[in-house]
Chains A and B, each alone.
Chain A
Amino acid sequence: MTTAVSDAHNEHDDHGPTKGIGRWLFSTNHKDIGTMYLVFSLTMFFIGGAMAMVIRSELAIPGLQFVHPEFFNQMTTMHALIMVFGAVMPAFVGLANWMIPLMIGAPDMALPRMNNWSFWILPIAFGMLLSTLLMPGGSPAGGWTMYPPLVLQTGDSFPFLIFSVHLMGLSSIMGAINVIVTIINMRSPHMSLLRMPMFVWTWLITAYLLIAVMPVLAGAVTMLLTDQFFGTSFFLAAGGGDPVMFQHIFWFFGHPEVYIMILPAFGVVSEIIPVFSRKPLFGHDSMVYAASCIAFLSFIVWAHHMFTVGMPLTGQLFFMFATMLIAVPTGVKIFNWIATMWRGAMTFETPMLFSLAFVFLFTIGGFSGLMLAVAPADVQYHDTYFVVAHFHYVLVPGSVFAIMAGAYYWLPKWTGYMYNETLGKVHFWASTIFVNLTFFPMHFLGLAGMPRRIPDYSTQFSDFNTMASIGAIGFGMSQLLFVWVLLTSRKGKKATAEVWDNPPGLEWTVPSPAPYHTFETPPEISEEDGVH
């Protein structure tokens, strides 16, 4: 991270960041906070990944070799919580912090002190969650979905689980408010809403989703807390409560949550594909409408996670039709990306490779999603490895690949140096091969009848499990390459302000690395700028 200030815009401002730990603890600078979010996310990615390695080692062959079933369940639960709330979401918030002010020509986020707070809550929340590993009875083991009554059997770690989820929600809500206020109020003059870059657009929509659903999750887990400690019976049948109500409330949060994790990914990919196709993004406005449609539909499909709980037929039909509808706007997005590539002049640098793999592999996750929408078939797929394959396809080669693509794309802007392209490509190919080796066989396992969240399995499932375990360990190792790329990036050649071949967007008008303070006076936008 540089401390030099060399931007011509910034002649009034000759002071850089404060020195030492104070720079990070008390930072109100969107770039520093963005960096902290990204480093935090990468750390969590490796902690959650280590847990995945425990899971896949145990599942490599039938029989119980390494861990007890109790600990296995703790690993699946913690892996999910850490990856969802600790790795994927903070990574996108980090990208938002770094890039949204640069993309809309704002000097910083609108609420810088809240920005600091929303970040620093996260290490506390996850410190608390991870500390449960050392408690009597271990970590939460009832699944990240926290279904009662099972979750109420959690030991000493139960209140820590609830409070850490509260804190994660608090952090997300504050981050979302900040994003919305920044985008609505701090765009440069002449950047109308429909002229905003796609990444900004998808984040605006995501931020509204966050504000709408995180309080719902907080409410649901608070009810769990009072059921456990204060004698209420929201979800306890013995006291007249309804265990299924929790699932309705949870998935009313949970389904928009999956779009919270994928819409910013759509945004990143929509930035990258046009640049490396050397063509403007096809159908910018229809992309905005499609993302808004997806966000709206995400609120009315939650019970497709619950086709086996015994819903009335009409309820099942409604949720099935609504779920199928999501395929339409999602299809529009994919068609628009392909139309962007069509008759372009493509080159295949690492960010483009990750984005192309995203389009391919996210679509495969979309196909299994369409299959899961078919309710009678879902009864067979539900809670099997088919579902595990589905959501890992949309989350790993989906969200995570988009984050990787974004990291490679903007890294020269952040550090001022070009990363090692060969290493980047090796990282890409290793990740892509191993991610498919890990998750594709899981489709077969699920269809053949292997339930998810089991520590041991019948022998007929052994071959594909071994294959998936080999893939998982390969994928985990490949991510170490990414750390290597980051650590060696300073050895690369100096990056220019534009970095890539004539990219649109305001972030490329400031020098690389981006100075500590940018756009203290709003940039002038001509008719052509700002539209991707």
Chain B
Amino acid sequence: MIRNSFLSLLGLFVAGTAKADWELNMPKGVTDLSLETYNLHMMVFWWCVAIGVVVFGVMIVSLIKHRKSKGVEPAKFSHSTTAEVIWTAIPVIILVLLAIPTAETMVRLEDSRDPDMSIVVTAYQWKWHYKYQDSNVEFYSSLSRDSLEARRKQSGVDPFSVDNYLLNVDNPVVVPRGKKVRLLFTSNDVIHSWWVIDLAIKKDAIPGIVNEAWFRAEETGTYRGQCAELCGKDHGYMPIVVEVVEPEAYEAWVNSHDAEQ
């Protein structure tokens, strides 16, 4: 039994390498703010790399040169106020350089004034409900049927054979490209968190509280995300799919929805 599952594990790993990607970094996303977020992330990352090169460099030189097996005599020094002042001041300067552009982005992130449209997102255990405030459109959005079947324990379905396994829904959110979309989040039961990485939005949906966030997607396409706050047993099974379409296509989608209802 154990041996069998180990073999199947190994087999799936080999099969998996062919299909899965080795994504290393945060995506740049499709809004101005997601790009700004990405740039901040890379800026602080390169600062860390630079500091790491210096700090680890000195440490490695010391580890190579200052070892007893080389017959060195240990030095006696044990403090230096100058050194302490220098290595307190330099990090402070670096932090100021980091904090200024970060604060600027934060101000823009919070500016949800004058949206072109608003959608109320209500979280449930374990699905999302979307209500477009400027039209009659409203619907629930939950995990798509093929993922639902494959996710069962020992379902016998190979996750690699399922289209966008665990990241596909029955009813995606459709929004127009280039429009400022404001999202209002709340929850019907426990705390959830609505996260779409390409839109750089992660906002908690909390019972009794209305949170807001906004985005203006610049590229059409399908963007996927998941609930990010532990919300019970099916926390891993309430994905989010946002389809950004041309404004005309969006109008047509809204009209078709009206016709259905």
Contact = CB atoms under 8 A, between A and B. Distances in A.
Interface of A: 60-70, 73, 141-143, 147, 149-150, 153, 237-238, 241-244, 277-286, 308-310, 313, 316-317, 320-321, 324-325, 327-328, 331-332, 334-335, 338-339, 341-348, 356, 359-360, 363-364, 367, 370-371, 374-377, 379-380, 382-384, 444, 447-449, 451, 453-464, 466
Given A313-B110, A341-B63, A324 B95 contact: yes
Given A66-B153, A237-B206, A463-B16, 15 more contacts: A64-B155, A150-B190, A242-B209, A317-B103, A321-B99, A328-B91, A342-B66, A364-B52, A367-B48, A377-B37, A444-B22, A444-B24, A453-B236, A461-B20, A464-B22
Given A62-B160, A243-B207, A374-B44, A383 B165 contact: no
A361 to B, nearest CB: 11
A376 B98 CA distance: 12
Nearest to A325: B95
Interface string B67-80: 11100111111111
A241 B208 CA distance: 9
Interface string B107-131: 1011000000000000000000000
A310 B191 CA distance: 12
A335 B75 CA distance: 17
Nearest to B70: A345
Interface of B: 5, 9, 12-13, 16-17, 19-27, 33, 36-37, 40-41, 44-45, 47-48, 51-52, 55-56, 58-59, 62-63, 66-69, 72-80, 83-84, 87-88, 91-92, 95, 98-99, 102-103, 105-107, 109-110, 150-155, 157-160, 164-167, 189-191, 193, 195, 197, 200-204, 206-209, 211-212, 225-237
Given A279-B75, A286-B79, A449-B225, A342 B202 contact: no
B9 A61 contact: yes
A342 B78 CA distance: 10
B74 A380 contact: no
B23 A460 contact: yes
Contacts of A280: 76, 78
A371 B206 contact: no
A244 B16 contact: no
Contacts of A308: 193, 202-204, 228-229
Contact of B73 (A325, A328, A345, A363): A345
A373 to B, nearest CB: 8
A370 to B, nearest CB: 6
Contact of A328 (B17, B62, B95, B204): B95
B163 to A, nearest CB: 10
A377 B106 CA distance: 10
Contacts of B98: 324, 374
A70 to B, nearest CB: 5
A359 B226 CA distance: 35
A379 B59 contact: no
B166 A457 contact: yes
Contacts of A380: 26, 37, 41, 197, 200, 202
A122 to B, nearest CB: 27
A259 B102 CA distance: 26
A277 B67 CA distance: 8
B67 A459 contact: no
A243 B66 contact: no
A238 B44 contact: no
B68 A347 contact: yes
Given A363-B55, A380-B200, A454 B226 contact: yes
Contacts of A244: 206, 209
A463 B91 contact: no
A94 B240 CA distance: 47
15 contacts: A62-B16, A64-B154, A69-B234, A277-B66, A278-B68, A310-B211, A320-B99, A341-B63, A341-B66, A367-B48, A376-B36, A383-B193, A451-B226, A454-B236, A459-B160
B41 A360 contact: no
A120 B190 CA distance: 36
Contacts, number: 304
Nearest to A446: B26
**Chain B interface main SS type:** mixed
Contact of B56 (A149, A279, A360): A360
Nearest to B160: A459
Contacts of A60: 9
Contact of A375 (B21, B62, B106, B154): B106
A309 B204 contact: yes
Which of A63, A67, A285, A339 has the most B CB atoms < 10 Å from its CB?
Answer: A63
Nearest to B34: A380
A284 B48 CA distance: 26
B105 to A, nearest CB: 5
B89 to A, nearest CB: 9
A61 B17 CA distance: 11
B62 A363 contact: no
B69 A347 contact: yes
Contact of A153 (B52, B155, B190): B190
A5 to B, nearest CB: 36
- Among B24, B72, B99, B230, max chain A CB count under 10 A is at B230
A327 B91 CA distance: 8
B88 to A, nearest CB: 6
Nearest to A469: B9
A460 B224 CA distance: 13
A125 B5 CA distance: 36
A60 B159 CA distance: 13
Contacts of B206: 237, 243-244, 309-310
Contacts of A460: 20-21, 23
Given A150-B232, A461-B20, A383 B202 contact: yes
A11 B8 CA distance: 67
Contacts of B59: 338, 341, 359-360
B75 A343 contact: yes
A345 B59 CA distance: 14
B16 A462 contact: yes
Contacts of B237: 69, 456
Nearest to A336: B84
